[in-house]
Amino acid sequence: MENLQICQRCVMDTTDPEIKFDERGICNHCKTAEQALNRPPLSLSPMEKEAELLSIIHNIKTESSSKKYDCIIGLSGGVDSTYVAYKVVELGLRPLAIHFDNTWNSTIAEANIDNICSKLHIDLFRYKVEWNEFRNLELAFLKASTPDLEITSDHGIVSLLNQQAAKNNLSFIISGLNSSTESILPPSWSRGHYDWKYIKSVNKTYSRCTLKAFPHTSFTSTIFYRKIRKIKWLHILNYLNYNKSEAKELITKELGWQDYGGKHYESIITKFWQGYILPVKFGFDKRKAHLSSLIISGQITREQALEELKHPAYPPEELENDIRFFCSKMEISLSEFRKIMKSPPKTFWDYSSYEKTWYYVFLNYLWKLIKRPKGAP
């Protein structure tokens, strides 16, 4: 793509149609990321972070002292979730690890999961999707021509974690989400992760398969988990001065963890979606958001990110075989896949969603009023 304007601080550019630049050429994503890094707990001193985290851990242990487990953690075999598992055990908690098996795990991811649970003595609950149902849902998103196919797994994972927390009568889910490595992701590149109405709309439009087994979270069940069951999410990495390179070194040394390449590439579908389909069909490279987050948190330089982006997003020598594997697994022909790839891109806003409902608009407006600083117009 020609004539791209690139941020002068990170590597985000005008492949995000909603990006904005100031007079210095710095983008809005940099400013949003900086705001996240300047909010507690990230803005606290190391001693303050440690004290606050230890207080939370103490409360978790006290509340769950008579139970088999203290908390729920998700486990994918990736860097973030592996490091979370290691730190949670180090802090003396007894987690139940949950794995959402969408059948796209790489052999490296499978080995990592088994090895982590064995070495840390963690119990694992593995949920395997009903493949025909899930395949049809993923295929529906592929045909819908939005850049959101991965929300099928993201939504399922979050729903499963909430369900297992409620089932085991636990109040805490400890997550690997963090602002140090994930502070930047344009809404135009992916939207609707927790919007069950959107997922149902796409499925109804492009699939005849009813979603019976798929773990999901509706608007009302979200309120139930948060307000009735009072399930809380602890983003523990925000308390730990999380550095991805250092985390990789530690888990490799202590747990025998194996690297799999790019961010979230422990999943075959994520590698194919982010490395091939998104750049080719939708014209953006998600590595730019990942690398930009690391730039803002000081973990890499802009020059290092630009050098990384010189390499192809997908290994050229693997592409042809992987396209054939994808089509075979999804039960579509190569010609059908190519037709889908050439169809005009659409967005989240082309389908029904909670964000279009009057009550969502009203509640969002109310929330902004509550958060508005005193004296603001």
According to DSSP, the residues that pair with 125 across neighbouring strands are 98
Q: What is the pLDDT of residues 129-145, one digit of tens each?
A: 999 999 999 999 999 99
Counting Cβ atoms within 10 Å, is residue 360 exposed (0-12), middle (13-18) or buried (19+)?
middle
- Going by pLDDT thresholds of 50, 70 and 90, the confidence category of residue 161 is very high
- pTM (2 decimals)? 0.93
Q: Which helix (H) or strand (E) holds 120?
A: helix 107-120
pLDDT tens readout for residues 99-128: 999 999 999 999 999 999 999 999 999 999
Question: What pLDDT score does 273 carry?
Answer: 96
Is pLDDT larger for residue 309 or for residue 361? 309
Burial annotation 258-274 (CB, 10 A radius, 16+ → b, else e): bebebbbbbbbbbbbbb
Structure tokens at 268: 């075959």
Residue 264 has a pLDDT of 57
**What pLDDT sits at residue 370?**
62
pLDDT confidence band for 219 (50 / 70 / 90): confident
Contact predicate 231/71, CB 8 Å: no
Q: To which H or E segment does residue 71 belong?
A: strand 71-74
pLDDT at residue 186 is higher than 90: yes
pLDDT band at 357, cuts 50/70/90? confident
Both tokens of 218, joined, read: 């509706």
Residue 374 pLDDT: 42
Q: Read off the DSSP letter of residue 354.
A: G
pLDDT in tens, 43-61: 999 999 999 999 999 999 9
Task: List, in order of start, the domains of the chain with CATH numbers.
Answer: 45-350 (3.40.50.620)
Q: What distance in Å separates the CA atoms of residue 308 and residue 305, rounded to the nearest whole number?
A: 5
Question: Over 90: is that where the pLDDT of 300 sits?
Answer: yes
